[in-house]
Amino acid sequence: MNALDYTIVVVYSIAFLGLGYLFKEQKNKKDYFLGGRSFGWFPLSLSVMATQLSAISFISAPAFVGMREGGGLQWLSYEFAVPLSMIFLGYFLLPKLYNSGVVSVYEYLEKRFGTSTRLLLSIVFQISRAFATGVMVYAIALILTSVLAIPFWQTVIVIGLVTLIYSYQGGMKAVVYGDMIQMIILFGGIMICLVYGVSKIGGWTEFTSLLDRSRLDAVDFGSLGFQKNESFGFWPMVIGGFFLYSSYYGTDQSQVQRLLSANSLNTVRKTLLYNGLLRFPITLCYCIMGLVVGALAYNTPEFLNQIPANKPDLMIPVFIKDFLPHGIIGILIVAILSAGMSSLSSTINSLSAAFTEDFIARGRDLTEKQYVRYSRIVAVCWGIFCIILAFYTGNIADTVIEIINKIGSVFYGPILATFLIATTIKRVNGLSMNFGLVTGVGVNVFFWLVVGENVFWFWWNAIGAGVTFVVAILLSYILGAPSQSEDKKEEEQEQEPFFSRENVILLAYFMVIILVSISMSVII
């Protein structure tokens, strides 16, 4: 990097500090955590996708597609279940959560099942999200250090401090509008890498002639995920993925908080629609980028020699450093910073919302000024904690990332079942629900520790949800205990038709995704 590249990075960082200052006036909790419920579908859609398209995706997904043994376009199968999950959330779950007026989604569970369920899930969310974010910051800082040629600790501080300051000042408005800008920059970075990669390899025709065609196989109908080393099969990715994404987008505070910030329920549904439509094209772009840069690496010895066999994730950073002109390098570094800051800012705000709502403000009569002050203090504490965690993940980061994904699948299914029962089945009370939740998690832990690789971990999302659902309902009938009733206002909400325009579009798009993925070996 030269002075031009560093100038671009510095100007970008200062601009985001200004963004936080621009939105620094926060009068109450709805301003700070929900942006005053003022957002339309466009900024919310880009914000949701920006969190998903993290720096890990920008770096690791292309490396998986282009370089890793057994990789390739099967990465696209991660997207198969997304449209189906958006249909489910827009029709069944999110209308109830949005109309309830909660800030922390776990508050909704207290209304139905009692305090213990709310606090249990809130604690699980806060610990797991903070830990995962610390690993994410570590991984980004390690990658940027190889390009920026500055010490690791300085990279962590830059990412953490800039994000913490603008998140602290601006609350959810700074997070959403910051994410929107970062998403645009990140997608621009993907396209720059793709275009330059094709140019360096000698054009599209030369690329297709050098490409390992086995990497174009995206859909495997034969792998069911019930034997050792079976993964990325069509059915586990669709069924398990449905439960995973429904839980992530519908019950995870870091995601639902954005949707609760929408200016209307119609905006929530539009946000889900456009998230379901736009994720696949973006994923396809960075997958093709991975194929292009991977083909260039395998046919350029000096490039390949800089990528250790056990660290394929260095493919994109080395490409940026050695193959792109100055100025463009600065823009790409900004793209990686954008992805990291997007994930960190979202985490800080959602952790602050969950902790403030579930532990500080619950049962207390705080003034709006006190509430905002506590929220900002908690945001600073969580931000510092995530930054500290980034320094202590060390050499176990690669293993931890895999473990975190599996831990998510242990909990996502049971948590989704808990929210689904809360919104649809009145009979189940808190005791039955808690027992079902613990049983569902326990079964998933059994699959992880005892069954192991004989069942692909994507299935845990569906298995845990099913066990939780069945046990909670059966126990409620055995005990015969009455449940807490739902709010009358929620019961009277008019239900949208299932075959609405948005749902029909998403259902058709699910088929399009499958057909496009199957056809990639012909298209390329």
d(CA 386, CA 131): 7
Tens digit of each residue's pLDDT (9 = 90 or more) over 236-286: 999 999 999 999 999 988 888 888 889 899 999 999 999 999 999 999 999
Number of folded domains in the chain? 1
Asked if residue 509 belongs to a domain, the reply is no
Strands (E), 354-504: none
Residue 282's domain spans which residues? 3-393
Asked if residue 502 belongs to a domain, the reply is no
* pLDDT of res. 268: 93
Asked if residue 458 belongs to a domain, the reply is no
Tens digit of each residue's pLDDT (9 = 90 or more) over 283-340: 999 999 999 999 999 999 999 998 887 778 889 888 988 899 989 888 888 877 777 7
Those residues with Cβ within 8 angstroms of residue 512's Cβ, 6 or more apart along the chain or in another chain: none
* CA–CA distances in Å: residue 181 to residues 52, 342, 416, 482: 14, 10, 31, 49
List of the chain residues with pLDDT < 70: 19-21, 23-30, 32, 51-55, 166-170, 393-404, 481-495
* pLDDT of res. 250: 92
User: Considering the entire predicted model, what is its pTM?
Assistant: 0.87
d(CA 466, CA 458): 14
* CA–CA distances in Å: residue 502 to residues 127, 244, 519: 35, 21, 25
Question: Are 237 and 222 spatial neighbours (Cβ–Cβ below 8 Å)?
Answer: no
Residue with the two structure tokens 């579009």: 505
* pLDDT of res. 169: 65
Tally the residues of the chain.
Answer: 524
Asked if residue 234 belongs to a domain, the reply is yes
d(CA 390, CA 394): 8
* pLDDT of res. 393: 64
Asked if residue 492 belongs to a domain, the reply is no
Please give the span between the terminal C-alpha atoms of the chain, in angstroms, as a whole number.
Answer: 34
* DSSP category for residue 240: I
Tens digit of each residue's pLDDT (9 = 90 or more) over 216-226: 999 999 889 89
* pLDDT of res. 489: 47
Asked if residue 298 belongs to a domain, the reply is yes
**With helix as H, strand as E and coil as C, how does 247-263 read?**
HHHHHCHHHHHHHHCEC
d(CA 464, CA 327): 49
Asked if residue 523 belongs to a domain, the reply is no
Asked if residue 191 belongs to a domain, the reply is yes
Question: Residue 166 belongs to a domain with what CATH number?
Answer: 1.20.1730.10
